[in-house]
């Protein structure tokens, strides 16, 4: 099990430079780096690639500004830094990743490769500090396993609030998905009518594809109008397995 301090220590210049080289998002907020040649200060995860000889380190934004530096326009180090804690777990249908914020469950996805799943997480939350912490992710992963095992995810009480980030239409779709009874399916057109947007079938399909909470927000229950499975961002085989489990429960 991995349990990390929300702001890991980087006690030496060597450790700080190593964090910059790997663009370590867990280091954001722990220190700031100033670039003498450009006159800016950055987050450690900034995509800029300065030379080591041009970099100085600062414990705070205030110290960097006192040195005459201005904030980088690329990584925006003066913006508030949100921390997302994430962890991996195995489920009856393979590997899963859960990420939580101070508000609640921000992401619950399935996949095959840990590195690719981390990249998905980083792409969805480009300005967050990402800290691997299996203990924080544990309740959501346990809920996912229980939902898959039971075939009745809608009957389970979520262990934490949802921190859903999307447009009003997306959030309306995700709520409508949770209203589809286990053991049944709905077409994209039916979901569009359920949210009062009967002409928004394409937008409903896109919202299903952007669903941030696998299984617990059951986008796997949405099928084509002819009953065909259509796609599933976590693999059609998983969609088939989930629907079969729910039908048998």
Q: Which sequence spans correspond to the domains of the chain?
A: 13-71, 83-155, 168-248
With 50 as the cut, is the pLDDT of residue 1 above it? no
Residues 17 and 174: their CA atoms lie apart, in Å, by 42
Q: How many helices (H) and strands (E) does the chain have?
A: 8, 10
> For the residues of 210-229, what is the DSSP string, one character each?
T-SBTTTS-GGGEE-TTS--
Alpha carbon 198 to chain centroid, angstroms: 29
- Backbone φ and ψ of 14, nearest 5°: -65, -40
With 60 as the cut, is the pLDDT of residue 3 above it? no
Radius of gyration in angstroms for the set of CA atoms belonging to the chain, rounded to a whole number: 21
Contacts of 152 (CB under 8 A, 6+ apart): 182, 246, 249
Average pLDDT, the chain: 91
First to last CA, the chain: 32
- Backbone φ and ψ of 56, nearest 5°: -125, 155
With 70 as the cut, is the pLDDT of residue 64 above it? yes
- Whether 73 contacts 50, CB under 8 Å: no
With 70 as the cut, is the pLDDT of residue 45 above it? yes
Q: What is the pLDDT of residue 226?
A: 84
CATH 3.10.180.10 corresponds to the domain 83-155: no
Judge whether 33 counts as a catalytic residue: no
* Marked catalytic residue, from 33, 42, 46, 208: 42
Judge whether 42 counts as a catalytic residue: yes
Residues 193 and 199: their CA atoms lie apart, in Å, by 8
Q: What is the pLDDT of residue 6?
A: 47
Q: What is the pLDDT of residue 153?
A: 60
What predicted TM-score, i.e. pTM, was given to this entire model? 0.82
* Average of per-residue pLDDT across 226-234: 85
* Average of per-residue pLDDT across 52-69: 96
Residues 154 and 140: their CA atoms lie apart, in Å, by 14
- Whether 86 contacts 131, CB under 8 Å: yes
Residue 27 parent element (H or E):
none
Residues 13 and 159: their CA atoms lie apart, in Å, by 41
Contacts of 244 (CB under 8 A, 6+ apart): none
Q: What is the pLDDT of residue 168?
A: 96
pLDDT tens per residue across span 19-36? 999 999 889 999 999 999
pLDDT tens per residue across span 85-121? 999 999 999 999 999 999 999 999 999 999 999 999 9
Q: Which numeric CATH code is attached to 13-71? A: 3.40.10.10
Q: What is the pLDDT of residue 8?
A: 58
Decide which of 1.10.357.10, 1.10.10.10, 3.30.70.600, 1.10.3720.10 is the CATH code for 168-248.
1.10.10.10
* Average of per-residue pLDDT across 222-238: 88
Considering the chain, what percentage of its residues have pLDDT values greater than 90? 78
Q: What is the pLDDT of residue 155?
A: 58
Considering the chain, what percentage of its residues have pLDDT values greater than 70? 94
């Amino acid at each position: 099990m991995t349990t990390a301090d929300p702001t890991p220590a980087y006690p030496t210049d060597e450790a700080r430079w190593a964090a910059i080289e790997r663009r370590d998002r867990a280091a954001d907020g722990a220190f700031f780096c100033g670039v003498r040649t450009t006159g800016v200060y950055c987050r450690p995860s900034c995509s800029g690639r300065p030379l080591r000889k041009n970099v100085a380190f600062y414990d705070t934004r205030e110290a960097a500004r006192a040195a005459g530096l201005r904030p980088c326009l690329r990584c925006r180090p003066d913006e508030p830094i949100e921390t997302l804690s994430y962890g991996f777990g195995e489920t009856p249908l393979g590997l899963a990743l859960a990420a939580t914020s101070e508000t609640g469950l921000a992401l619950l996805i399935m996949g095959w490769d840990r590195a690719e799943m981390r990249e998905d997480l980083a792409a969805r939350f480009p300005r967050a500090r990402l800290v691997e912490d299996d203990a924080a992710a544990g309740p959501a992963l346990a809920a996912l396993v229980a939902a898959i095992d039971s075939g009745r995810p809608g009957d389970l009480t979520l262990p934490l609030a949802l921190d859903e980030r999307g447009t009003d239409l997306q959030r309306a779709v995700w709520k409508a998905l949770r209203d589809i009874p286990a053991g049944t399916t709905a077409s994209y057109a039916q979901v569009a009518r359920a949210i009062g947007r009967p002409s928004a079938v394409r937008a409903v399909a896109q919202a299903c594809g952007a669903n941030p909470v696998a299984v617990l927000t059951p986008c796997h229950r949405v099928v084509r109008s002819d009953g065909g499975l259509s796609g599933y961002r976590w693999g059609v085989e998983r969609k088939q397995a989930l629907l079969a489990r729910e039908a048998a429960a």
